[in-house]
Amino acid sequence: MADDDSNDAFDYMGQIKAAIRFAKGVNVYDDPAATFRPPAALVFAPELDLAVGADATEATYPVIVMASGDKDVLKRLLKLVSQVAQAIHENTDNSVIVRSASPGNYEAGGQALPCYLLTVEVSL
């Protein structure tokens, strides 16, 4: 990656988005105001851990995986979470780790979409 830590964080965001595209049928977004077509993944800008001198040492990317709701939504979401996590694992370098996945709802276009929030961590 680049020498500049902020560029590293931006480059890793691109790497994560590109990796998620390997998860079959998942639409990838990085704009929270977008009109989502589930199944979808939304990659947010990272939270940065800063060291002395303001150099970023770690980045944490929130990734929301969402599906449209019906009686089978949980089953589909769990499968999507697994596919997205596997795509990130297989298509990024070893410093990118999916740490956790928490269930919830994401408000989009006036509706609450069932989702999981994945926490993706990177050492810079």
Provide the domain limits for residue 30: 5-123
Q: What angle do CA 18, 16, 69 make, to 5 degrees?
A: 90
- Is it the case that residue 5 has pLDDT exceeding 70? no
Give the long-range contacts of residues 7-11, CB within 8 A, separation 24 or more.
8/56, 8/59, 8/124, 9/46, 9/48, 9/56, 9/59, 9/122, 9/124
Q: Which two tokens stand for residue 91?
A: 């298509």
Distance separating alpha carbons of residues 17 and 40, to the nearest angstrom: 11
Total structural domains in the chain?
A: 1
Distance separating alpha carbons of residues 72 and 85, to the nearest angstrom: 20
- Is it the case that residue 54 has pLDDT exceeding 90? no
Question: Tens of pLDDT along 12-38?
Answer: 999 999 999 999 999 999 999 999 999
- Is it the case that residue 102 has pLDDT exceeding 90? yes
Segment holding 4, helix H or strand E:
none
Residue 59's CATH number: 3.30.70.1700
pLDDT band at 10 (very low <50, low <70, confident <90, very high): very high
